[in-house]
Structure 1
């Protein structure tokens, strides 16, 4: 699954999102392209749950699927 997260702007943002998703889904593979504001999460089937986790970190994810 992919999300555009336009308000993700720095390394801290990347770390916060990655840690939050991996804490909730230890099997998750999180890839982030900061320049494109793109978050890709593999090995997780619940896009709504991942989106909520990113929102709870203070960001605004938009599904890019």
Structure 2
């Protein structure tokens, strides 16, 4: 299980966007979203860093919970959701 905290995930639009970027990395990944805790839980055999990079590329600020390295490929530009 890969657990990623996304503090700037604030609404259903953010959730939908992040589900799409996770699916782009692994279409068969099982994703649980806890919007109130601002956390993604991903069940996948893919490299966890790929998910962090994908979330970051979508304009969000992910932080790995656990053993994943969270600083791979820092985003240069912040985009993100329409409500931030």
Distance 1:6 1:50 in 2: 15
Distance 2:43 2:7 in 1: 20
Q: Where does residue 49 of structure 2 map in the other structure?
A: 48
**Bigger CA radius of gyration:** 2
What RMSD in Å do the two structures reach over aligned CA positions?
0.9
Listed one character per residue, the Cα deviations across residues 28-64 of structure 1 (whole Å, up to 9, x for unaligned) are 1111100000111102331110000000111001001
C-alpha contact (below 8 Å) 1:27/1:44 kept by paired residues:
no
Distance 2:8 2:35 in 1: 10
* RCO higher in structure (CA 8 A, sep ≥6): 1
Unaligned stretches of 5+ residues in structure 2:
67-84
Structure with greater proportional helix content: 1
Q: How many residues align?
A: 65
- TM superposition outliers: structure 1 runs of 4+ over 3 Å: none
TM-score by length of 1: 0.93
Paired residues for 1:1-65 under 5 Å: 1-65=2-66
